[in-house]
């Protein structure tokens, strides 16, 4: 991601397009996947956004970390929009088929196939159960 640039008009205000976009930031930003966690190293809470993993925000409280990362995400999205980049689609809006391919060593495949047969379930059901834990 490029460094944030603040575009201004002659009056010193941001362009109208960015102002209008920022009015809807809370609604759009709420669709992103946020997480707060404690950092022993920093001795503060870290706010993170799964869709924009290069961004983080440190704060003394979880609430302040959430507010900070949401504000930072809004600024990053506005910058992307201003430069013609497409912001990442929130995970909440993505469609998932429920299928994905996992490659494992042949020994693991054999061991899981035997375990599934012993339990009387398909290999798919066994793998799904293990992944769901």
Span 73-128, pLDDT tens digits:
999 999 999 999 999 999 999 999 999 999 999 999 999 999 999 999 999 999 99
In-domain check, residue 28: yes
Given a cut of 80, whether residue 7 has pLDDT beyond it is: no
Residues 39 and 79 in one domain: yes
Q: Give the three-class secondary structure for 59.
A: strand
In-domain check, residue 6: no
- pLDDT bin (cut points 50, 70, 90) of residue 12 is low
CB distance 73 to 49 below 8 Å = yes
Number of domains in the chain: 2
- pLDDT bin (cut points 50, 70, 90) of residue 42 is very high
Residues 23 and 72 in one domain: yes
Residues 30 and 72 in one domain: yes
Residues 73 and 100 in one domain: no
- pLDDT bin (cut points 50, 70, 90) of residue 30 is confident
What mean pLDDT, rounded, does the chain reach? 84
Question: DSSP code of 13?
Answer: S
The whole domain housing 85 covers: 16-92
- CA gap 106, 114 in Å, rounded: 12
Residues 56 and 103 in one domain: no
- Assigned token pair, 89: 């689609």
Residues 63 and 106 in one domain: no
Residues 70 and 119 in one domain: no
Residues 50 and 100 in one domain: no
């Amino acid at each position: 991601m490029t460094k944030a640039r603040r575009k201004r008009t002659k009056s010193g205000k941001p362009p109208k397009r960015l102002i209008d976009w920022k009015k809807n930031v809370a609604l759009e930003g709420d669709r992103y996947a946020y997480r707060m966690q404690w950092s022993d190293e920093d001795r503060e809470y870290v706010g993170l956004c799964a869709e924009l993993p290069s961004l983080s925000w440190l704060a003394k409280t979880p609430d302040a970390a959430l507010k900070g990362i949401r504000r930072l995400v809004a600024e990053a999205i506005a910058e992307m929009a201003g430069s013609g980049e497409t912001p990442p689609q929130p995970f909440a809006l993505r469609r998932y088929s429920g299928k994905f391919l996992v490659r494992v060593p042949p020994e693991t495949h054999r061991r899981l196939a035997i375990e599934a047969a012993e339990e009387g379930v398909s290999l798919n059901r066994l793998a799904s159960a293990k992944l769901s834990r």
